[in-house]
Amino acid sequence: MNCHSTSSSRRNFLLGVAAASLSPLSSFAQAPTWPTRPVKIVVGTGPGSGTDTISRLLAPRLEGIWRQPVIVENKAGAGGIVGTEYTLAANDGHTLLMASPSMLLAKYTTRNLRFDPLTDLIPVYRVFNTQVVFVTNAKTAQRAKTMAELVALSKSSPQGIFFGGAGRASFFNLSMALLAQSMGVHYSAVDFNGMGPLTLALLRDDVQLALSGHLSVKGQIDRKELHALAVVDRKRLTALPDVPTLEEAVGYKGFLPISWGGIFVPKGTPAAVANIIARAFGTLYADEPARKSLEARLSGTLVPSSPAQFAREYAEEANVWKNTFATLGIVPE
């Protein structure tokens, strides 16, 4: 064999190895083998909630990617606090948390909270955004067919209108408080334990306004029992194309309190593991036919994300809520 040829081949091989060590793929190859056992997704709400539904729909698909069982476990209670504490206590590298903004809001609503949602958890992937609409009942819609008309109606009596909520510190109640400041809605909150009783009260005109995921009330909207006034989003909903956004309805341009579901892991989890988890959810998002099928079963849309992007959005939202609570004079209880 030609010695020059052998030397040249060896040099080219070594250059190839060096180039590979600098490529993005090398970091993936050096990432830990994860998962090495079943993965648990903890949901801080009960069965049937948005975060529960999406977790159960995605679990079989994640099993196909990770080649390990993916178990969804509900740990409902205290607005997501119970599920968060359970996840932090496990801290086994294979227990993930599917959380909503309620978990973040606990920092500002709950005294003596045993964890800090801003420092004890790592945001990994924002999985979906809930598409929420303002709805009223048929009786009220006879006097106020638009959001602007409902704002005017709320100012026509000293007590304003009644808003159906889920508790003083719930995401919907706080969203209403935030939006009402800018829109000038005069209202009193009446709280209910669940969407069923709230919807019934809305239909009976015990309350005149509510915020709801669009799928929860679309049947009543189609039957003209309820009337959608505005979408709390930047764009209109495919399922309700005639319903304007809040900006279109009343010119609202401020922060939009959009509920979401996102994956978190306890602090100390290696970044390489967080990236593996994020890549799996990114793969699911990229499958457009499957994504459309999933979205048809949700009051929301799947979104592209990453650990860095979700962390940035999470910090920005925390700052908005911190300022909102200070403005409203709400202190932890």
The per-residue pLDDT for 195 is 79
Least Cα distance to 211 among 255, 143, 154, 257 occurs for 257
Contacts of 183 (CB under 8 A, 6+ apart): 147, 151, 250, 252
CA–CA separation, 53 and 43 (whole Å): 10
pLDDT at 6 over 70: no
For the ranges 189-198, 215-224, 283-292, 310-319, the lowest mean pLDDT is seen at: 189-198
Within a 10 A sphere around the Cβ of 83, how many other Cβ atoms? Answer: 25
3 state DSSP class of 132? strand
3-state secondary structure of 157: coil
Residue whose token pair is 């740990």? 75
How would you classify the pairing of strands 209-213 and 132-137? antiparallel
Average pLDDT value for the chain: 88
22 exposed, middle or buried (CB, 10 Å; 0-12, 13-18, 19+)?
exposed
CATH of 37-130+258-328, one of 3.90.1010.10, 3.40.640.10, 1.10.443.10, 3.40.190.150: 3.40.190.150
Nearest in space to 50 (alpha carbons), one of 13, 70, 80, 93:
80
pLDDT confidence of residue 32? 64
Average pLDDT over residues 240-254: 95
Task: Indicate the pTM of the whole model.
Answer: 0.80
Does the pLDDT value for residue 31 go beyond 70?
no
Residue 302 tokens, joined: 């799947």
CATH architecture, domain 132-232: 3-Layer(aba) Sandwich (3.40)
Q: Check whether 29 has a pLDDT greater than 60.
A: no
- Does residue 182 surpass a pLDDT of 80? yes
93 or 30: whose pLDDT is higher?
93
Summarize the chain as % helix, strand, coil (round to 5). 50, 20, 35
Give CATH 3.40.190.10 domain extents, the chain. 132-232
Q: Is the peptide bond before 307 cis (omega within 30 degrees of 0)?
A: no
Q: Which residues contact 134 (CB under 8 A, 6 or more apart)?
A: 147, 150, 209, 210, 211, 228, 229, 230, 232, 246
Give the Å distances, CA to CA, from 303 to 24, 112, 260, 262, 291.
24, 34, 10, 10, 10
Domain with CATH 3.40.190.150 in the chain: 37-130+258-328
Nearest to 178 by CA among 315, 316, 320: 320
Kindly tell me if the per-residue pLDDT of 266 is higher than 90: yes
Name residue 75's amino acid.
K
Q: What is the pLDDT of residue 300?
A: 86
Asked if 86 and 42 touch (Cβ cutoff 8 Å), the reply is yes
Burial class (CB in 10 A: 0-12, 13-18, 19+), 187: buried
Local confidence band at 157 (pLDDT 50, 70, 90 cut-offs): confident
For the segment 69-94, the average pLDDT, to the nearest whole number, is: 94
Residue 22 reports pLDDT greater than 90:
no
CA dist., res. 198 & res. 190, Å (int): 9
* Token representation of residue 41: 């997704």
What is the spatial distance between Cα 23 and Cα 44, in angstroms, rounded to a whole number? 39
pLDDT digits (tens, 9 = 90+) for 41-52: 999 988 878 899
